[in-house]
Each structure stands twice: as structure tokens, then as C-alpha cells.
């Protein structure tokens, strides 16, 4: 079922957008975050790029936004920012920068009354720790905001199909994660000694591959990792393909699947060491309408791969919470 967020007001994403557009003409939408939170905003950015006719869409790491603020940020801009703990300094600053330029700011966070909320016009509080589905709420609420912005500003013919997708995706993702444990254990045993692991995907899942690489592998497991779009694989990265070189392919169900499949064919041709997490295997297309299928791939794949990361951490005896620099040094 669709999640009911605990917001600092009684407003739903639909009502937040209704209130915004009642007070201003929205011309651009900007997504801002860092690390995994930046990646969690990507499906919404991807959705708008695919479907908006007039709205200007952009996606920034927060300090890029702060140091090189686009001239287009003004009182016709909606900035959507995210930070799990609500304390990421760069994203907190980005909210202030956006407000200085006249933008309306909507922030997503897990932490009530955190610094991120200070300069936000609207805040949506999401869950995280309760279960695998809860970890998807940041992505989900951001995507729902994007759908509402498009539908209320330009109109969107598949709006009802997206709403139906939101009603189903959390339960589907939770069940998929619960069913992934055995395969995740096998993955962990196969990959536990790897010194470097490459990750790729496409479509709305592109930055799930990015966050898998920079967060789950590099940050949380101290495993060297590289990430690239499946469509870019044949424009450089495929030259490192060889027997037993480790790859993780996050495979989409939908319009970009052929790109993922082409990369997989090449990896198999040279006996690379491959782990595939395929949305098709978890029944995504049996539950979500084909017209909107692309935008829900990241949910199932993120939930399933979280289990993979847990099992990898367990077999390597390296907890996902272990850090040597983050939160411990000044940087």
C-alpha cells in the first residue's frame, strides 16, 4: 500500500504541489543531495526528463549547487533536497542558497527538526530502519512529488497507473527482499574476497548502481569499485572485461533492458564473474503497468541488493556501519 508520511504538516505530496502552484508559476525543478540521498532523487529526475514537455529539470550534488549555483534558480524554481539524518552540511547549505535565490524548497529527511528543515518550505519525513520497504520511502516520496508536479503543471496521461504503482511497490519490494536471502548468501560467498567490484545499470536504476558502488561497496565495505551506465560500457569500460573480473549488473525490466542485456552478453562471452539482480525475476512487470514500469525498477532492485550487502558484510565480518574517516575526522 502507499505509505502515509509523517510530515511537519498535514499536507500530502499532492497537496504540497497544489499549494506551491497556487502561489507561483513553476518553470524548473532541481534535485539536490549527496551520496545515497542524491541517488535516491534520481528516479524522480529521470521520470520528469522522460515525460515533461516544458519543465526544466536538473540534478546536483549539493556542493556543486552551492559553489556554482545555476543562474536559472529563481522564484519559479522548486528545489527538492534530501538527507537521511538531515545534517549533511552541503545539503543544508544548498537549502539556504536556494531560498536566497527565491526558490521554494521541499526537503525529505528521516530526522525530525533536523538542520535540513530550517530553510525548507515543506518537509516530508520518511521512515528508514523499520524494514526494507521503509528504506525506499525517500525515493518514493520524491518520485511522487515529481509525478504530482508534472500532472498538476502539464498533465500526465499515466497518472492513475503511477498511483497504482505506488500502492503496490512497497509490499512487492519488501517481499522480494525477504525472498532474496538465499541468493544473497551465495553472492556473498562468491564475492567476499574480491578487491574490486564493478557495478552497472541503466534507466531509472542508473544511480542505484552508482550508490551501490560508492556507498555499499566503497563506504560500507572498503571494497574498491567503479560504476558506469550500461550504455557506456562499450565506450571504454568493456576493455577491462576478462575471465573472473567481478561485475554486478542491476538489470531493468522495461525500455532500457536491451542495453543491460547487451552488456551481459559481452560479459558472458569472456567469462567475467557476474552477479545479476534482475527486476524481471522479482515479478515487477506482473504488478506494475508497462507504461510506468521503468520508474519502479529502482525500488525492487534497491530492496533486494540491500540484502546482498548485508550478507556480504556478514561473511566478511565488516559491518555496514563501520567507518574509518566518516563522522570521525574533520574533512
For the segment 285-312, the average pLDDT, to the nearest whole number, is 98
pLDDT of residue 323: 93
Cell, residue 234: 562499450
Are the CB atoms for 304 and 282 separated by under 8 Å?
Answer: yes
Residue 256 burial by Cβ neighbours in a 10 Å radius (0-12, 13-18, 19+): buried
Write down the residue that cell numbers 515543506 correspond to: 122
Examine the pLDDT at 3 and tell me if it is beyond 60.
Answer: no
> Three-state secondary structure along 223-278?
CEEEEEEHHHHHHCHHHHCCCCCEEEEEECCCCCHHHHHHHHHHHHHCCCEEEEEE
pLDDT in tens, 26-67: 999 999 999 999 999 999 999 999 999 999 999 999 999 999
Is the per-residue pLDDT at 194 higher than 90? yes
Residue 215 DSSP class: I
Rounded-to-integer distance, Cα 58 and Cα 68, Å: 13
For 75, list phi and psi in degrees, rounded to 5.
-75, 5
Q: Is the pLDDT assigned to residue 4 strictly greater than 60?
A: no
**Is the predicted pLDDT of residue 209 greater than 60, yes or no?**
yes
- Is the confidence at residue 6, as pLDDT, over 50? no
For residue 71, pLDDT beyond 50: yes
Q: pLDDT digit string (tens) for 137-188?
A: 999 999 999 999 999 999 999 999 999 999 999 999 999 999 999 999 999 9
pLDDT at 7: 42
Q: What is the mean pLDDT of residues 222-236?
A: 98
Strands (E), the chain: 28-33, 56-61, 77-82, 104-109, 122-125, 196-201, 224-229, 246-251, 273-278
| Structural domains for the chain | 13-156 (3.40.50.10490), 182-316 (3.40.50.12570)
C-alpha distance from residue 197 to each of 4, 93, 214, 246, 249 (Å): 37, 33, 11, 5, 11
Among residues 71, 89, 91, which one has the least CA distance to residue 31? 91
**What number of other Cβ atoms are within 10 A of residue 112's Cβ?**
11
Contact (Cβ atoms closer than 8 angstroms) between residue 143 and residue 116? no
pLDDT 10s digits, 270-280: 999 999 999 99
Whole-angstrom distance, CA of residue 16 vs CA of residue 148: 9
Q: How far is CA 64 from CA 34, 37, 97, 210, 266, in A?
A: 10, 15, 12, 17, 35
pLDDT tens digits for range 84-93? 988 999 999 9
What is the number of other CB atoms lying within 10 angstroms of the CB of residue 273? 16
Percent of the chain with pLDDT over 90: 91
Please determine, for residue 10, whether its predicted confidence score (pLDDT) is greater than 80: no
Whole-number pLDDT of residue 328: 87
Distance of CA 209 to the CA centre of its chain: 9
pLDDT at residue number 127: 86
Over residues 90-108, mean pLDDT: 97
How do residues 106-123 score in pLDDT, each as one tens digit?
999 988 999 999 999 999
Mean pLDDT value of segment 300-327: 96
Mean pLDDT of 309-313: 98
246 pLDDT higher than 60: yes
The whole-number pLDDT of residue 289 equals 98
- The pLDDT value recorded for residue 2 is 45
For the chain, give the mean pLDDT: 95
Amino acid at each position: 500500500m502507499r505509505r502515509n508520511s509523517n510530515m511537519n504538516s498535514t499536507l500530502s505530496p499532492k497537496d504540497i504541489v497544489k499549494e506551491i502552484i497556487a502561489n507561483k508559476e513553476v518553470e524548473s525543478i532541481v534535485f539536490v543531495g549527496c551520496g545515497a540521498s542524491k541517488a535516491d532523487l534520481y528516479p524522480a529526475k529521470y521520470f520528469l526528463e522522460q515525460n515533461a514537455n516544458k519543465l526544466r529539470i536538473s540534478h546536483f550534488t549539493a556542493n556543486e549547487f552551492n559553489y556554482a549555483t545555476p543562474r536559472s534558480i529563481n522564484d519559479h524554481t522548486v528545489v527538492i533536497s534530501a538527507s537521511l539524518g538531515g545534517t549533511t552540511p552541503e545539503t543544508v547549505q544548498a537549502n539556504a542558497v536556494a531560498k536566497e535565490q527565491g526558490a521554494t524548497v521541499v526537503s525529505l529527511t528521516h530526522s525530525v527538526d533536523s538542520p535540513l528543515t530550517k530553510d525548507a518550505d515543506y518537509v516530508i519525513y520518511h521512515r528508514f530502519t523499520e524494514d526494507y520497504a521503509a528504506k525506499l520511502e525517500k525515493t518514493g516520496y520524491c518520485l511522487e512529488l515529481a509525478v504530482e508536479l508534472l500532472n498538476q503543471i502539464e498533465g500526465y496521461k499515466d497518472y492513475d497507473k503511477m498511483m497504482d504503482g505506488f500502492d503496490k511497490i512497497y509490499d512487492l519490494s519488501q517481499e522480494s527482499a525477504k525472498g532474496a536471502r538465499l541468493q544473497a548468501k551465495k553472492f556473498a560467498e562468491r564475492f567476499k574476497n574480491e578487491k574490486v567490484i564493478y557495478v552497472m545499470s541503466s534507466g531509472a536504476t542508473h544511480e542505484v548502481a552508482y550508490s551501490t558502488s560508492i556507498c555499499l561497496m566503497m563506504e560500507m565495505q572498503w571494497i574498491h569499485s567503479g560504476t558506469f551506465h550500461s550504455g557506456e560500457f562499450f565506450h571504454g569500460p568493456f576493455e577491462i572485461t576478462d575471465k573472473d573480473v567481478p561485475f554486478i549488473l542491476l538489470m531493468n525490466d522495461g525500455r532500457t533492458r536491451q542495453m543491460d542485456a547487451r552488456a551481459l552478453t559481452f560479459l558472458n562471452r569472456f567469462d567475467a564473474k557476474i552477479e545479476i539482480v534482475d527486476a524481471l525475476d522479482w515479478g515487477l512487470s506482473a504488478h506494475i503497468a508497462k507504461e510506468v514500469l521503468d520508474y519502479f525498477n529502482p525500488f525492487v532492485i534497491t530492496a533486494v541488493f540491500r540484502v546482498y550487502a548485508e550478507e556480504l558484510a556478514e561473511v566478511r565480518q565488516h559491518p555496514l556501519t563501520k567507518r574509518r574517516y566518516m563522522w570521525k575526522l574533520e574533512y
